[in-house]
Amino acid sequence: MSNIVFSKADLQQIVLLAKQAGEAIMQVYAQTDLQIEVKQDDSPVTAADIASHNVIIAGLKQHFADIAVMSEEDADISWAERQTWQTYWLIDPLDGTKEFIKRNGEFTVNIALIHQGQAIAGVVYAPVLDKCYSGIVGQGAWLEHNGATSILDIRQRPLQTPPVVVGSRSHISPDVAAYLQTIGEHQMLSVGSSLKFCMVAEGQADVYPRLGLTSEWDTAAAQAVLESAGGKVVEYPALTALQYNQKENILNPYFIAASLAWFERK
């Protein structure tokens, strides 16, 4: 799959960086008056997004200076340049800005390493929840929570009865509603940001159908975690692997993120 060497020690460096970014976010989160701006695509941005971005960029330049970086907060990189990248960091400094503004804690720092179109390593850190998910595809996935580290491995995990579907806290698209009608009896959980992938990686949910718009930085880190834990993320309805940096625009197609048991069900 990959000829790049990325070790657990490298991953721990990214974990530390995500936690530092989380600290910068929490300094803003503690303020009583959040200053919210609106970007050209109508999405909100706060001082926390920028503070997290700055921490991550500085850390990546220090520890991985030879690898290109693309961040949601600095995404004006030409396709002519991007298409030459074999390996790069793809980051969302604050995924779930709407959840941040609502102060419900369901937001994350997302840092992914992309190599030849695949998300091969990722860290998803939820500072309010004190949960840090990390993984290297082919090497394993881990969750740090309350000072303890556990292995995430859902390769043999059977479907729950009825199956548990996780979806967005902020928006359920009409296409997702139609998809849910096709799967029969199920339980529905709602959570913000890339935590939906992580709930599947933890075994708390069986499937996350996202039949609506997302950008590549929204999904890469959490896809790496889920696939490192033994799950799978595929385009829908094509069922081919969800890949990165394959086209000029950075919007993802529809996709399904799920355990292997979900894809094997009759």
Instruction: Answer whether residue 26 is part of any domain.
Output: yes
Letter string b/e over residues 205-239, b meaning 16 or more CB atoms within 10 A of that residue's CB: bbbbbbbbebbbbbbbbbbbbbbbbbbbbbebeee
If one counts the domains in the chain, the total is 2
Question: Residue 134's domain spans which residues?
Answer: 8-152
* pLDDT, tens digit, 9 for 90 and up, residues 53-103: 999 999 999 999 999 999 999 999 999 999 999 999 999 999 998 899 899
- Site of tokens 């625009």: 249
- Whether the predicted pLDDT of 241 surpasses 90: yes
In this structure, of 102-106, 110-114, 128-132, 142-146, the range with the lowest mean pLDDT score is 102-106
Q: How many CB atoms lie within 10 A of CB 160?
A: 15
In a domain, 198, yes or no: yes
Among residues 84, 117, 152, the one where a domain terminates is 152
Say which residue, 173 or 62, is predicted with more confidence: 62
- pLDDT given for residue 34 in this prediction: 77
**Same domain for 148 and 183:** no
Helical segments of 164-213, H only: 174-182, 195-202
Least confident interval from 104-113, 157-166, 169-178, 251-260: 169-178
Residues 223 and 214: their CA atoms lie apart, in Å, by 13
CA pair distance 98, 112, nearest whole angstrom: 21
Q: Are 179 and 167 in contact (CB under 8 A)?
A: no
Pair (27, 138) in one structural domain: yes
Compute the distance between CA of residue 3 and CA of residue 76 in angstroms, rounded to an integer.
28
Band (2; pLDDT cuts 50, 70, 90): very low
Is the domain of 145 the same as that of 227?
no
Are the C-beta atoms of residues 73 and 50 closer than 8 Å to each other? yes
Say whether both 16 and 123 belong to one domain: yes
